[in-house]
Amino acid sequence: MLSPGADFFQSCWVVQDLHLAMRKWHETTGIGPFFFLENQRPDDYRYCGVAAAAPLFGVAFAYTGKTQIELIVQHDDAPSAYTKTFGRHGAGHHHLGADVTDYDRRLEAYRALGLEVTQEATFGGQRYCYVDTREVLGFMTELFEWNSDSKAFMADVARIAASWDGQDPYRSMN
């Protein structure tokens, strides 16, 4: 068993159409606003431990209480944790994301359990990885190491969501 300390803050779905998914989430649940980035690639990308061409993706996120809802669409056929889970055209719940302050120790603990690290990269200067916990949990687990700027930005997004008036539900960050 891993020691306590992971703060699971995020639930993520892989989708086929980012804008349609944001709209459906907003119309069905009232969650918003969604902040989104399109045509992104992570840096320092590794797939199943081997350096590889990074996937092109779009991402959106919104908050409901303290939980971040993340939506990801992959635009190409690059190998990734998303295509490993759903194939090129599938969709569904992909992972729970954990904010960890002891990234290296926690990553090694998952490896010691015999779990595969499917994808590792940096995005916005922050390390993250997907551990394949599907056989034991039914979804992947993301480990994420926030930097202070991103943590502050996400706190602002959560505050915006808490007092949101329903206007401007889809906000581009490109």
Q: Domain range for residue 56?
A: 7-162
For residue 173, tell me if it sits in a domain: no
- The total number of structural domains in the chain stands at 1
**pTM more than 0.85:** yes
Q: What angle do CA 143, 13, 69 make, to 5 degrees?
A: 75
For residue 169, tell me if it sits in a domain: no
For residue 106, tell me if it sits in a domain: yes
For residue 170, tell me if it sits in a domain: no
For residue 1, tell me if it sits in a domain: no
Per-residue pLDDT of the chain (174 residues; tens, 9 = 90+): 555 556 899 999 999 999 999 999 999 999 999 999 999 999 999 999 999 999 999 999 999 999 999 999 999 999 999 999 988 788 999 999 998 889 999 999 999 999 999 999 999 889 999 999 999 999 999 999 988 888 888 899 999 999 999 999 999 998
